[in-house]
Amino acid sequence: MQHEAVVYSPTDRKSETQTQSSAQVPKSGVPSTDHAVHRVAEVRRQQGVSLRTVARHLKKDLATIRNQEKETTDLRLTELSEWQRVLDVPLVDLLVDSGSPLSRPVMERARLVRVMKTAASIAEKSDSMELDRLARMLIDQLVEMMPELSEVSPWHSVGQRRSLDEVGRIVERRLRDDFFHTSRDE
């Protein structure tokens, strides 16, 4: 990243402060920009973490999490730090940096998490003792390589039950008032 030194005269200060911020503040109260400022969504998907899991850890509703996850949302440092803690990645990997890939350790961890999720799913759904034993051996080997994988859950199955305080995506969507009105001209 290159930095340029800029020298301002006292008369330039006023115009600088007026044009300094390219962020716009929408009705939601969260500033956004016209360009990508972070990679939170990309890293979350690579780490295999669901929006519901993030919302639960951050104690925020899904609408707020989705808004924060938009790459043009200008997050505060404390919010980025919260995402960094939940995703368990270096903070630098959440920032946009001219299209560079995630650091090697983070990519390896994301791959191991996906393999662990698959192994845990196989162990959970296996009907034969042999397949279950192989899945358990694979899980043990993965945990040996990376101990924090012991906390990884299997892939979610279709129709997984939600806790009582979680609602589905359909409940969060708003419909126009005229959606339920049908024309009486027929």
pLDDT digits (tens, 9 = 90+) for 143-181: 999 998 888 888 876 555 666 666 666 666 677 777 777
Distance of CA 94 to the CA centre of its chain: 10
Q: Which two tokens stand for residue 20?
A: 């300094």
Cα angle value 141/51/120 (rounded, 5°): 20
The residue assigned the tokens 């196989």 is: 122
Same domain membership, residue 36 and residue 95 = yes
Q: Give me Rg for the CA atoms of the chain.
A: 23
Q: In which domain, by residue range, is 52 found?
A: 32-100
CA–CA separation, 107 vs 122, rounded Å? 23
**Does residue 1 belong to any structural domain of this protein?**
no
**Does residue 122 belong to any structural domain of this protein?**
yes
Predicted local distance difference test score (pLDDT) of residue 154: 87
**Does residue 19 belong to any structural domain of this protein?**
no
**Does residue 171 belong to any structural domain of this protein?**
no
CA–CA separation, 54 vs 166, rounded Å? 12
Backbone φ and ψ of 73, nearest 5°? -75, 125
CB neighbour list of residue 108: distance below 8 Å, 6 or more residues apart = none
CA–CA separation, 17 vs 28, rounded Å? 24
pTM here is: 0.45
What single-letter amino acid sits at 7? V
Predicted local distance difference test score (pLDDT) of residue 58: 94
**Does residue 168 belong to any structural domain of this protein?**
no
Between 55-59, 61-65, 85-89, 101-105, the lowest mean confidence (pLDDT) is in 101-105
The residue assigned the tokens 């043009």 is: 72
Q: What is the mean pLDDT of residues 8-14?
A: 40
Same domain membership, residue 134 and residue 116 = yes
24 - beta bridge partners? Answer: 32
**Does residue 170 belong to any structural domain of this protein?**
no
Counted domains in the chain: 2
CA–CA separation, 155 vs 117, rounded Å? 5
**Does residue 108 belong to any structural domain of this protein?**
yes
Q: Which residue, of 84, 100, 116, is where some domain finishes?
A: 100
- Cα–Cα distances in angstroms (integers) from residue 83 to residues 90, 94, 101, 148, in the given order: 10, 8, 18, 18
**Does residue 88 belong to any structural domain of this protein?**
yes
Q: Which residue, of 100, 116, 136, is where some domain finishes?
A: 100
